[in-house]
Amino acid sequence: MGVAREVQIADGAAEANFVSDLLRRFRAFYGGERVDFTDVGLDLEWCTPFQADVAAALQRVPWGELVSYGELAAIAGYPRAHRAVGTFCAGNRFSLLLPCHRVVAGNGIGSYGPDGIATKRRLLRLEGHAAL
């Protein structure tokens, strides 16, 4: 299910403006600009309470910052749930809006679900992490 189907939008005009704004932000991000997606309202009704807490914690990880799976688990209030956080990130439906690319393994880059490590590295390089 894509972003357009899961983002809450009030009416047609608002939808057009929302989509235009989101596309502008995506282009800016992929152009290397610092972009904030935290104000994009997502319908997270499909989430369990744990997943909703992880999603909220992810949105607090700033552009250009990295956290480990364990650190994100602790931020979300589940300090021993690093593997469950990894599972959530692997199935993340909202890539840039819930920035799992900023979550790394304690001993390296970690994985990035079906999009792969190359995509994760590309996103991190766009945020200034050339060494990864």
Task: Write out the catalytic residue numbers.
Answer: 100
Q: What are the strands, taking DSSP E only, across 28-128? A: 67-68, 103-104
How many residues are present in the chain? 132
Query: Per DSSP, what are the bridge partners of residue 108?
Result: 105
Query: Per DSSP, what are the bridge partners of residue 103?
Result: 67
* Helices H / strands E in the chain, number of each: 6, 2
